[in-house]
Amino acid sequence: MQTQRTLDEFKNEPFTDFSKPENAAAMRAAIEKVRSELGREYPIVIAGEKVVLDAKFSSFSPSNKSEVIGVFSEGDADTALVDQAIEAATSAFKSWRNVDPATRAEYLFKIAAIMRERKHELSAWMVFEVSKTWAEADGDTAEAIDFCEFYGREMLKWAAEQPITPYPGEKNTFEYIPLGVGAIIPPWNFPLAIMAGMTMAAVVAGNSVVLKPSSDSPTIAAKFMEIVEEAGLPAGVVNFISGSAATGEAMVTHPKTRFISFTGSKGVGLHINEEAAKTRPGQIWIKRVVAEMGGKDAIVVTDDGDIDAAASGVVAAAFGYQGQKCSACSRLIVDEKVHDELIAKVVEQTKRLKIGQPTEGDTNVAAVINKRSFDSTLKYIEKGKAEGGQVLTGGTGDETNGYFIEPTIIDNVQPGSTLEQEEVFAPVLAVIKARDFDHALEIANGTEFGLTGALYSASQERLDRAVRDFHVGNLYLNRKCTGALVGVHPFGGFNMSGTDSKAGGREYLLQFMQGKSIAQKI
């Protein structure tokens, strides 16, 4: 690969404007292309070799639950696979760690270029496999491109000469070196962006990895693996295993796993952290865990907030991608003096959202990810009502063909109640009245999470107070609490929301490297 070229400053990949007929036509063509490829089988990939097992599982469309998206080997059925993959990664690491960082970055730029060429096709796979609407899928693909472009550039900065204090009689340098073999366990809700970001951040830092995507979204990961191979990344640097919990557990507990990068639920994240802390026979390091977990994110609207802007922001943040974002607005905390006015607008806008198949360009809300999520969401709605909540709109679901939940708003939710405290991860918005701004902040901070939050207020004093006292990793003022952009809004939360690793920020790559100080007497 050629020496690093001169690079332009990083800029976010623009979103597609589907109101333009040519863009809508291109997306429809991509959807039909992907439709013609549904149901194909995808292999496990270890050291570049394709592995097919007798045991299989299928990925289904949440919006058309009889539609098979892809067929995969069940990695859980072969306990030796994880050993083989980690050995392959260990072998590849011996040479990959010594590859010039500029060359490693070039692979990311090439992967980004291929993804950019196939943007609509990649988005279409997410439309089918995880029921993203056109806009949500397009944003996911754009973010995946951003991660590759951003992390490639940031690696060049970390590989450059690092500032240290001079000392007479010595030549001193400080450099960052990779950790080793990593387990990459991404989620289904951003199956391209987060998966690609987690994987390529580790890779560009000089590590090799074993990637196990969610069993709800393996096809898009398999498509990404095809791009990785096309870009010419050396075999064994990224190894791909499809499977379920047992495969992930074996990756986490393996003594040759140096770090685990995980995005998902609080429960699984805490379990991974606990298991990673145990030292297994043959293990010679303390494993590092990078965990992005849940949220119970709140938008606070004060009595002087812009009601129209707040209503639009709440609806977008609560119901975008069916509320299945760790950053989603699941709590609306509103000053009681403007409660009625705001809620009327929020309900009105919510009722206008179109529920339908994600393959249609005008759909706003599609299905939740699976049967388990569908059943759990309905139970949370019933729990909310039992605890005194009032359903203002929605509240029901239909699983005839897919797992559709109506966008649901539950008013009069009390601080400390189940619906106010627990992450639902679905299109359910809990509305809580606050007496005043102090009370609103108290409620907002009154959960075990601390991921995103937003405040709508015309008072700079209140905005400044939120900066100081609203305890979240990503705070948004007079705008919605979703839509973090790579490089613009480094993303990660406090408390039970994870390790605040700040994906899409410059320091993120430090999670996958360690510092080495070299002193030479002269």
DSSP-derived secondary structure letter, 125: H
**The pLDDT value given to residue 5:** 63
Token digits for 240?
């791909």
> Of 148, 326, 329, 481, which residue is the catalytic one?
326
117 belongs to the catalytic site: no
Look at the block and give the residue holding tokens 């839509």. Answer: 483
**pLDDT by residue (tens digit) across 218-246?**
999 999 999 999 999 999 999 999 999 99
> Out of 292, 406, 422, 423, which one is annotated catalytic?
292
Do 364 and 354 contact (CB within 8 A), yes or no?
A: yes
Q: Using one digit for the tens of pLDDT, what is the confidence trace for 65-94?
A: 999 999 999 999 998 999 999 999 999 999
CA quadruple 478, 479, 485, 490: dihedral positive or negative? positive
DSSP β-ladder status, 452-456 and 297-301: parallel
- Domains and their CATH numbers in the chain: 23-293+501-521 (3.40.605.10), 297-485 (3.40.309.10)
* pLDDT score of 195: 98
Residues of the chain with pLDDT under 50: 1-4
pLDDT at 6: 78
Sheet hosting strand 40-42, strand order edge to edge: 40-42, 68-73, 56-60
- Its pTM surpasses 0.75: yes
326 is catalytic: yes
332 Cβ contact partners less than 8 Å away, ≥ 6 residues apart: 298, 299, 301, 314, 318, 342, 346, 429, 430, 431, 432
